């Protein structure tokens, strides 16, 4: 297939409505997917059929090239049904954005025959890339590649070997690797986000051509080779700002699901003391705090992306201080959602422990999400605070 697009772009409202229509069936399937330790093939097929993975894909490759706010709304809805689905959609779906930043020959390799092909990732910089004619010899082992068993390619983080004589090398890059060149190691046996299938990956001395390497400095600086052909303002967004949110959007959806279920549960529940949960002032406050925080976090998400969008349309990047603020506000989402979920979980009482209720599963999913490196808010918060106090920025991802 040539890079000529040719797909009819749906209305964003219709896409979001389609995602919301999937909430009940995904919720009904959540326990089965957790037991399966990976998304069921039919779930991935439904997401593809709905066109969700095309939201951030360039139009010239059959995608919709839509605003990341649309992507976020779809992800939050899917997570409201099952956080594992929202998580995989986020971290796999965002890769259609990054491949647009590579040399266009990389997109041709991935989408040339089938523009619905998916890309997995694990960005841990544990790969070792040794320069070779026309590219690199690449090896390494990685953890946490969500949804990889449904993908034909993968982005792997690694460092180029530094030449001590010239001082060149030592660059943090993303390497694009086909399924034939990596091995999946089934290790995903965890307490939360069980259905994501976030397996280990191994690569042994494979050749990666230069054009399948994306330097992280280009992604941060807006100097990616793909910008020469993917000229829409979307691909002028700082990629990391889109990626950070793809990790945290699902937490908002998960908290919303817990609040929905708690409201239905609490409205009917009579405690062992004979009082109703609906009349418990702590339960009332927990509901109010969760609902208010969800509204606030969605507002901040939209405000931040609107500011990024305005800058991209001007051909600019937001200021360093703005980008640090956006990163911190993204990273704190998982911690906030987890704290609010803890209050709802406590309010559910002993009956909330049963597997027939969703509370324990969602709470465990939020704990697992909080562990992601992008959600370590104390690190991003310190960096933002240091700049506010007049010190230089030392965050290489900003």
Place of tokens 């979001």: 16
Q: Quote the strand ranges of the chain, DSSP E.
A: 119-132, 135-145, 153-160, 172-178, 183-185, 199-209, 213-215
- Let me know if residue 231 belongs to a domain: no
- Let me know if residue 185 belongs to a domain: yes
Q: What is the pLDDT of residue 1?
A: 41
- Let me know if residue 300 belongs to a domain: yes
CA 397 to chain centre: 16
Tokens of 177: 């690797």
pTM of the prediction? 0.95
Distance, in Å, from the CA atom of 196 to the CA atom of 121, rounded to the nearest integer, reads 13
**Residue-wise pLDDT tens for the chain (398 aa)?**
444 556 789 999 999 999 999 999 999 999 999 999 999 999 999 999 999 999 999 999 999 999 999 999 999 999 999 999 999 999 999 999 999 999 999 999 999 999 999 999 999 999 999 999 999 999 999 999 999 999 999 999 999 998 766 667 789 999 999 999 999 999 999 999 999 999 999 999 999 999 999 998 888 878 999 999 999 999 999 999 999 999 999 999 999 999 999 999 988 877 766 678 888 999 999 999 999 999 999 999 999 999 999 999 999 999 999 999 999 999 999 999 999 999 999 999 988 899 999 999 999 999 999 999 999 999 999 999 999 999 999 988 88
Q: Domain range spanning residue 365?
A: 237-388
Q: The domain spanning residue 168 has which CATH number?
A: 2.40.110.10
Last residue of a domain, one of 72, 101, 130: 101
174 and 50 in a common domain:
no
304 and 243 in a common domain:
yes
Distance, in Å, from the CA atom of 352 to the CA atom of 368, rounded to the nearest integer, reads 19
Distance, in Å, from the CA atom of 96 to the CA atom of 40, rounded to the nearest integer, reads 21
Last residue of a domain, one of 152, 184, 215: 215
261 and 211 in a common domain:
no
3-state secondary structure of 218: helix
Q: The domain spanning residue 50 has which CATH number?
A: 1.10.540.10
Among 334, 344, 326, 378, smallest CA distance to 83 is for 334
Q: What is the pLDDT of residue 163?
A: 72
Distance, in Å, from the CA atom of 131 to the CA atom of 129, rounded to the nearest integer, reads 6
Place of tokens 């020469």: 228
Q: What is the pLDDT of residue 3?
A: 47
Last residue of a domain, one of 181, 215, 249: 215
Q: Percentage helix, strand, coil, to 5, in the chain?
A: 55, 15, 30
Distance, in Å, from the CA atom of 100 to the CA atom of 58, rounded to the nearest integer, reads 7
19 and 160 in a common domain:
no
176 and 34 in a common domain:
no
358 and 250 in a common domain:
yes
Among 379, 380, 384, smallest CA distance to 320 is for 384
259 and 204 in a common domain:
no
Q: Phi and psi for 276 in degrees, rounded to 5?
A: -95, 145
Q: What is the pLDDT of residue 313?
A: 96
CB 359 within 8 A of CB 269: no
Sheet holding 183-185, edge to edge: 183-185, 199-209, 135-145, 119-132, 153-160, 172-178, 213-215
Cα pseudo-dihedral 48, 259, 305, 77, rounded to 10: 10
- Let me know if residue 276 belongs to a domain: yes
Cα angle vertex 67, ends 66, 73, to 5°? Answer: 105
Report the number of distinct structural domains present in the chain.
Answer: 3
Q: The domain spanning residue 292 has which CATH number?
A: 1.20.140.10
CB 216 within 8 A of CB 168: no
381 and 248 in a common domain:
yes
Strand 213-215 and strand 172-178: the pairing is antiparallel
- Let me know if residue 21 belongs to a domain: yes
150 and 291 in a common domain:
no
Among 53, 58, 72, smallest CA distance to 100 is for 58
- Let me know if residue 221 belongs to a domain: no
301 and 274 in a common domain:
yes
Q: What is the pLDDT of residue 398?
A: 83
Cα angle vertex 4, ends 106, 51, to 5°? Answer: 80
Neighbours of 391 (CB within 10 A): 10
254 and 351 in a common domain:
yes
- Let me know if residue 229 belongs to a domain: no
- Let me know if residue 113 belongs to a domain: no
203 and 79 in a common domain:
no
Neighbours of 112 (CB within 10 A): 14
Using only C-alpha atoms, what is the Rg of the chain? 21
3-state secondary structure of 139: strand
């Amino acid at each position: 297939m040539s890079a000529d697009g040719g797909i009819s772009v749906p209305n964003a409202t219709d896409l979001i409505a389609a995602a919301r229509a999937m909430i009940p069936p995904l919720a009904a399937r959540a326990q089965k997917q957790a037991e399966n330790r990976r998304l069921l093939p039919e779930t991935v097929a439904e997401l593809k059929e709905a066109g969700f993975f095309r939201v951030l894909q360039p139009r010239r490759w059959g995608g919709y090239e839509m605003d990341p706010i649309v992507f976020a709304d779809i992800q939050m809805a899917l997570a409201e049904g099952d956080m594992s689905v929202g998580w995989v959609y986020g971290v796999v779906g965002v890769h259609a954005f990054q491949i647009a930043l590579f040399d266009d020959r990389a997109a041709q390799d991935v989408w040339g025959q089938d523009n619905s092909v998916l890309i997995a990732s694990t960005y841990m910089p544990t790969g070792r890339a040794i320069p070779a004619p026309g590219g690199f010899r690449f090896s390494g082992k990685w953890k946490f590649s969500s949804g990889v068993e449904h993908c034909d390619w993968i982005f792997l983080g690694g460092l180029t070997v530094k030449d001590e004589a010239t001082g060149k090398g030592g660059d943090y890059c993303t390497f694009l690797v086909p399924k034939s060149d990596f091995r999946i190691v089934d290790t995903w046996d965890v307490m939360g986000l069980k259905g994501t299938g976030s397996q280990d990956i191994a690569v042994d001395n494979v050749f990666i051509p230069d054009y399948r390497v994306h330097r992280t400095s280009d992604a941060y600086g807006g100097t990616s080779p793909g910008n020469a052909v993917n000229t829409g303002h979307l691909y002028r967004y700082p990629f990391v700002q889109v990626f950070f949110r793809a990790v945290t959007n699902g937490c908002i959806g998960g908290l919303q699901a817990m609040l929905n279920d708690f409201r239905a549960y609490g409205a009917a529940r009579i405690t062992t003391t004979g009082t109703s949960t609906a009349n418990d002032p702590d339960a009332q406050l927990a509901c109010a705090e969760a609902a208010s925080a969800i509204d606030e976090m969605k507002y901040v998400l939209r405000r931040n992306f609107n500011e990024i969008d305005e800058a991209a349309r001007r051909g600019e990047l937001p200021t360093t201080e703005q980008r640090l603020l956006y990163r911190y506000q993204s990273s704190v989402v998982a911690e906030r959602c987890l704290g609010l979920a803890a209050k709802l979980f406590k309010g559910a009482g002993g009956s909330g422990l049963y597997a027939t209720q969703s509370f324990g599963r969602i709470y465990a999913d939020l704990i697992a999400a909080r562990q992601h490196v992008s959600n370590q808010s104390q690190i991003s918060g310190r960096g933002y605070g240091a700049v506010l106090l007049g010190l230089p920025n030392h965050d290489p991802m900003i």
